[in-house]
Amino acid sequence: MTVEKNDTKNKIQDAAERLIIQGGYGAFSFRDIAEEVGIKSASVHYHYPTKGDLASAVMTRYINEFSAQLPNPNDESLDPNAMLEGFINGFKAKIVDHQNMSLCTMLTADKHILPDEVSAALTAFYNVKIEWLTLLFMRLASLQEEQAKTQTIQFLATLHGASVLVQATGNADFFERALSYWRMVYVK
């Protein structure tokens, strides 16, 4: 119980996630993962029979971790401005500090070649984010649901687009510049 029983499984997922973030779905291989974990590629297949299984597991873990850290947007004891700020800063940490795009943005680019289950998990993840942000904007700006959803889509687009620009140009400060409007209006 205290001992981590699925240590190898977790290490495999860690390696897979890192490789996907760096090069997309096509850039992680069982051999690379095996080497990083310190076992043989056949043993990776023991834990995750197919590449799709492994990618699904990584995606699912990512969604769960992400969702678990989202506070309840309607919790009156929490400051909604701080929640939005936390959302922005969490995203920023991934793409600016680690110099790569987020897992979901990478997989979105590869969507045409993803196994169906992974593709579906990806869509579900975006819907989770959209729903959470919509609730937050309803509270932040006293908006009706549809207006709040439009704000959400504009905000999410800016966030993801900012990561594309940073990655493409190598210009890290483009992130803050893209987000400046949202920080100005809603944060602090």
Partner DNA sequence: ATAAAGCTATCTACCACTAGATAGGTTAAA
Partner DNA sequence: TTTAACCTATCTAGTGGTAGATAGCTTTAT
Distance from C-alpha of 110 to C-alpha of 78, rounded to nearest angstrom: 37
22 binds, among its own copies, DNA, none (CB under 5 to 8 A by kind): its own copies
Contacts of 154 (CB under 8 A, 6+ apart): none
We find the least distance from the C-beta atom of residue 157 to its own copies, in angstroms, to be 3
Which residues ranging from 32 to 51 are in contact with DNA (CB under 7 A)?
32, 34, 38-43, 45-47, 49-51
What would the x/- binding string for its own copies be over residues 19 to 58, using CB under 8 A? Answer: ---xxx-xx-------------------------------
Site for DNA in 52-71 (CB under 7 A): 52
Choose the stretch contacting DNA; rule: CB under 7 A; options: 23-31, 145-153, 155-163, 174-182.
23-31
Is residue 154 within 8 A of residue 162, CB to CB? The reply is no
**88-147 residues near its own copies, rule: CB under 8 A:** 100-101, 104-106, 108-113, 122-123, 126-127, 130
Specify the 3-state DSSP secondary structure of 34.
helix
Which single residue is written with the structure tokens 């590449």?
51
What Rg, from alpha-carbon coordinates, does the chain have?
Answer: 18
What is the C-alpha separation between 32 and 82, in angstroms, rounded? 40
Nearer to DNA, 31 or 98 (CB): 31
